[in-house]
Amino acid sequence: METSDQLNIPSTVSDPHYRYKMPKIHTAIQGTGNGIKTKWLNLPEVSKALKVPTEYPLKFIGRELGSNIEIKANSYLINGNHPIDKMQEILDKFIKKYVLCPKCKLPEIHGKIQVTKDKKGIKCKCRSCGAVSKLDSTHDFASYIQKHPPPYDKDNTPSSNTNEKEVKKTLDKNVRKAIKECCEKIPNVINLDIDINENCNLVKKLINEYNFPIDIKFYVLANGIFDQNLYTKAFEKKIPLIKFFIFNESDSKNEEALFFFLVGMSDFIFARKNEKCEQYVSSVLYYLYNYDILSEDFWKSVLEKKEQNKYKSLLFNQDINNKFLKSAEQFSEWIKNGPYEGEEENKNDEKNEENKEENKEEKNEENKEENKEEKKEDEDIDIDNI
């Protein structure tokens, strides 16, 4: 928790620069004995910061504590004497269930929470990542939301069929600011003179502070790793860092991570106007291929066959992707017409063996000639005259 009067949403987020804030809970104790009550002094301010109806946090905490609550004029009471730390712990639980987007973990579902048509569930649409998700309907508090749903912004009803233009509108300025901020911090964290594992942990710690979903996470990583020259001697030293992050995801997410890393790379070149880097795209892809990060099958199936739709993201831009693929034509041709994986190595091995045999024969011939010369010299020596 922070020492100021403001906490992160939720308070378990440790980043002091986190942009989503709420006031600390302030309470006062009223009454004595069986009539003792905890008065929540700043509930309206906390609810406003969370962008939920005022009574939501109060009722959730009351249910968790098993205590009755009272709302009288501007007084918000919970029966019993309850420590602020305990109330904050329960409030964080409420936030994680009904304030944060289940996908990107940002508090950006306000005005987008809606009871399902069958009245048995609760769904939301995230203003940040655009995901349509279900909220916890098993908790006792869910029945209250179903009976008293929050005001809903009907201008943009949740739907699983959001098109690209609709999704882009959900990337608000706060998320863009966080992406820019993280991209700028990554180069300052990377130190190529220290152990690679330490480097990985430093960058991982930084990115994790933002709770980005996988698409933004690898988009940010790419934009933070590359510089305006794109392909330099330092880039090879960063390869283990890229490999660590991509393969640190679960097996089912490796290709998705790589895809969004390449989305970030293409954005770095074309959206951020670093077109002079375009000439090095194939060289970078060769590196990723040689270090077993990028495979032939991945390049052919996901990139060349335009199967990008399997990876949904508001960051993907088809026009930029087309420019990226065009700049990678040299690499694509090599994949199409070059040796299959392992074939080049086999050819090199065969060539090396041939060279070894040739060198061996040459060496034997040289030894034979040397032996002949030595024998001739022995014959010319007159032992008696030594």
Provide the pLDDT for residue 187: 85
Q: Give me the amino acid identity at 330.
A: Q
Q: Which of 70-74, 125-129, 281-285, 307-311 has the lowest mean pLDDT?
A: 307-311
Torsions phi, psi for 214 (to 5 deg): -60, -35
pLDDT digit string (tens) for 324-333?
A: 888 888 888 8
Distance separating alpha carbons of residues 268 and 177, to the nearest angstrom: 16
CA–CA dist 111, 115 (Å, integer) = 12
Q: 321-330: long-range contacts (C-beta < 8 A, 24 or more apart)?
A: 321/263, 321/266, 323/266, 323/269, 323/270, 324/262, 324/265, 324/266, 324/269, 324/270, 324/281, 327/269, 327/278, 327/279, 327/281, 327/282, 328/281, 328/282, 328/285, 329/282, 330/282
List, for residues 75-102, the tens digit of each pLDDT value: 899 999 999 999 999 999 999 999 999 9
Beta partners for 6?
23
Give the pLDDT confidence score for residue 358 in this predicted structure.
53
What is the spatial distance between Cα 242 and Cα 287, in angstroms, rounded to a whole number? Answer: 11
DSSP at 230: -
Asked whether the predicted pLDDT for residue 44 surpasses 50, the reply is yes
**Residue 246 burial (CB count, 10 A):** 22
Element housing 310 (H / E): none
Mean pLDDT of the residues in the chain: 79
Residue 273 has pLDDT above 70, yes or no: no
Q: Collapsing DSSP states into helix, strand and coil, what is residue 75?
A: strand
pLDDT in tens, 191-236: 877 787 888 888 888 888 888 888 888 888 888 887 766 666 677 7
Q: Check: CB of residue 77 under 8 Å from CB of residue 39.
A: yes
CA 354 vs. chain centroid, Å, equals 48
User: Three-state SS for 123?
Assistant: strand
What does the pLDDT read at residue 25?
Answer: 96
Torsion of CA 125, 129, 133, 135, to 10 degrees: -80
Q: Which helix (H) or strand (E) holds 67?
A: none
- pLDDT for residue 95: 96
Q: Average pLDDT for residues 25-34, to the nearest whole number?
A: 92
Q: Which of 170-174, 226-230, 337-341, 369-373 is modeled with the greatest confidence?
A: 226-230
pLDDT score of 320: 85
Q: Which of 14-28, 173-187, 312-326 has the highest mean pLDDT?
A: 14-28
Task: Give the pLDDT confidence score for residue 69 in this predicted structure.
Answer: 94
Q: For the segment 142-161, what is each residue's pLDDT rounded down to a tens digit?
A: 999 998 988 887 654 443 33
